[in-house]
């Protein structure tokens, strides 16, 4: 009985390990690295998205209004930017990946965009 439990646990661990490898390569299986590179338009879109999310607010604060109520209103309406750190950037990339899957988009495109975002996070931070 004990032998059966140990062998079943070993078999389960082996199957899970192999399925993890298959799942990780499943989306890109049979495709070359060049095939899933983003186009220039997609790269520009990702750059703009990350700059908007993690960019500096210097341009917004450079122009100041004489009306303090207007400044407060603009501050309340402006999108709150996240801290610029590697972890926050990677978390954002993962959230966007999960959102892509949740919306039912193609797994291949979700993974392409996630890879592009995470690579940019690694390069920037």
Domain range list for the chain: 84-125
CB atoms within 10 A of CB 18: 10
Summarised one tens digit per residue, pLDDT across range 8-63 is 544 444 444 443 334 446 666 766 666 678 889 999 999 999 888 887 544 444 45
| Burial of residue 79 (number of CB atoms within 10 Å: 0-12, 13-18, 19+) | exposed
Distance CA 17, CA 14 (A): 5
**How large is the angle between the packed helices 40-54 and 86-102, nearest 10 degrees?**
120
CB atoms within 10 A of CB 39: 8
Task: Check residue 67 and give its pLDDT.
Answer: 78
Task: Check residue 96 and give its pLDDT.
Answer: 96
Residue 104: phi and psi, rounded to 5, are 80, 25
Summarised one tens digit per residue, pLDDT across range 49-93 is 988 888 754 444 445 667 777 777 776 665 455 567 888 999 999
DSSP letter for 124, please.
Answer: H
Residues 6+ apart with CB under 8 A from 53: 81, 82, 92
Task: Check residue 104 and give its pLDDT.
Answer: 94
Distance CA 118, CA 88 (A): 11
In this prediction the pTM is 0.57
Tokens 């960019």 belong to residue: 55
């Amino acid at each position: 009985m004990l032998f059966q439990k140990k062998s079943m646990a070993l078999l389960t661990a082996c199957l899970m390990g192999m399925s993890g490898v298959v799942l990780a390569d499943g989306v890109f299986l049979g495709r070359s690295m060049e095939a899933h590179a983003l186009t220039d338009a997609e790269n520009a879109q990702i750059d703009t998205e990350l700059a908007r999310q993690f960019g500096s607010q210097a341009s917004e604060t450079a122009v100041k209004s004489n009306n303090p109520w207007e400044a407060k209103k603009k501050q309340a309406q402006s999108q709150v930017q996240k801290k610029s750190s590697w972890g926050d950037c990677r978390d954002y990339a993962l959230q966007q990946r999960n959102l892509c899957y949740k919306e039912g988009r193609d797994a291949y495109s979700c993974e392409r965009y996630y890879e592009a975002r995470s690579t940019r996070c690694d390069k920037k931070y």
